[in-house]
Amino acid sequence: MKAVLDRVEADWARRLALPGLRISLALVYLWFGLLKVIGQSPVADLVRATMPWVHGPWLLPALGWVEIALGLALLFGAPRRLAPAAVAAHLAGTFLVFFQAPAMAIHDGNPLLLTATGEFVLKNLVLVCAAIAILGLDRRSTVEDRVVAAG
């Protein structure tokens, strides 16, 4: 009986993991992007401090539209492999705060003592891994589908 339950659980997780990651990451991107577009993002100062070489009132809305486009690409799975790779690259860019504005992310120069902003940014490691997992799992399932179709 335990083997049957283990198999059902594994099949259930296998079927839901990829769509769950894709949809949840897409919703985060759509939501955060929309907040930037409508001028209600709580990270406006953080973005400006992270990219001091970019000036202008267009920065946040432009970033918001990029995030919305990435969210839609994730949600609809097109372009299938480019979207999660672009999301991973975008999220990696959020770590610039540790170099461009370290006082916003780290208490008293101690990298083990993160501010709320530092914790907010550090959790993006999980989102980067989710994007990489989507890329890897999606690729694997595409290859497996071809093998099954050929076999």
Structural domain containing residue 138? 1-149
List, for residues 97-121, the tens digit of each pLDDT value. Answer: 999 999 999 999 898 999 999 999 9
Task: Give the pLDDT score at 149.
Answer: 47
Tally Cβ neighbours within 10 Å of residue 137. 16
Predicted confidence (pLDDT) at residue 128 exceeds the cutoff of 80: yes
Predicted confidence (pLDDT) at residue 6 exceeds the cutoff of 80: no
**Across residues 50-72, what is the average pLDDT?**
93
Predicted confidence (pLDDT) at residue 91 exceeds the cutoff of 80: yes
Q: In which band, very low, low, confident or very high, does the pLDDT at 1 lie, cut at 50, 70 and 90?
A: low
- The phi-psi region of residue 39 (left if phi > 0; otherwise alpha if psi is between -120 and 50; otherwise beta) is left
Q: Which residue has the tokens 């890897």?
A: 136
25 neighbors 73 (Cβ within 8 angstroms): no
What residues form DSSP beta bridges with 114?
Answer: 106
Q: Which residue has the tokens 């009132």?
A: 57
**Across residues 78-84, what is the average pLDDT?**
85
Task: Give the pLDDT score at 52.
Answer: 87
Dist. CA 85–CA 14, nearest whole Å? 21
Dist. CA 100–CA 114, nearest whole Å? 15
Task: Give the pLDDT score at 148.
Answer: 46
12 neighbors 57 (Cβ within 8 angstroms): no
Q: In which band, very low, low, confident or very high, does the pLDDT at 11 lie, cut at 50, 70 and 90?
A: confident
**Across residues 83-106, what is the average pLDDT?**
94
Query: How many domains would you assign to the chain?
Result: 1
Q: In the chain, which ranges are continuous DSSP H helix?
A: 2-37, 44-50, 59-76, 82-93, 97-100, 102-105, 116-122, 124-150
